[in-house]
Amino acid sequence: HNAWMFPGSDHDELMENYSRLTPQEACEEWTKIPVLFVSFPSAKDPTWNTRYPGKSTCIIISFTPYQWFAEWEEGKVKHRGDEYQSIKTRLAQKMWGQVCKQYPQIRDKLEYMDVGTPLSNNYYLGSTRGEIYGLDHTRKRFSLDVVTKLRPDTPIQGLYLTGQDIVTAGFA
């Protein structure tokens, strides 16, 4: 089960307004995170319940402006300080809260949560500004002109492209 969650219908406006906030404002109760991708990968695994009875996994992916975390980019992983950790934790709780409004049955089921930021992506994925899935996710990247060029077929018979930048931006 995969779901995209938006608190409104004007996605561009939601992202632009959110990107103008400070990280502290983004953590405020009145703020809504403009886009959440929610997936339950354990639900896709037919052997999951046998191997992990009564357990499930939930992945929540969202976007944050790199500049919210830029001041800690020279810091060491797991040692970036209390303010950095506080922002991560508060944003994660906000995401969890928004997801629980859609899926109230999971609200009291949380046992473990791990949170990454654009800096986590830099460290673990070798990104430069927090990118997670290849090409930058701008409006231009999803324009008709670009989408028609990012196709799995090639001029070479039997050769097809695969990967995160063909159609789905890495989501399965």
| Tens-place pLDDT, residues 118-140 | 999 999 988 888 887 777 667 78
Two tokens, residue 51 = 């191997």
Local confidence band at 7 (pLDDT 50, 70, 90 cut-offs): very high
Residue among 106, 103, 92 at smallest CA distance from 5: 103
Put simply, whether the predicted model's pTM sits higher than 0.95 gets the answer: no
**Furthest CA-CA distance within the chain:** 55
| Tens-place pLDDT, residues 8-35 | 999 889 999 999 999 999 999 999 999 9
Q: Which residues contact 162 (CB under 8 A, 6 or more apart)?
A: 152
pLDDT at residue 67, rounded to an integer: 94
Query: Between 60 and 169, where is the model more confident?
Result: 60
| Tens-place pLDDT, residues 35-79 | 999 999 999 999 999 999 999 999 999 989 999 999 999 999 999
Helix (H, G, I), strand (E, B) or coil at 25: helix
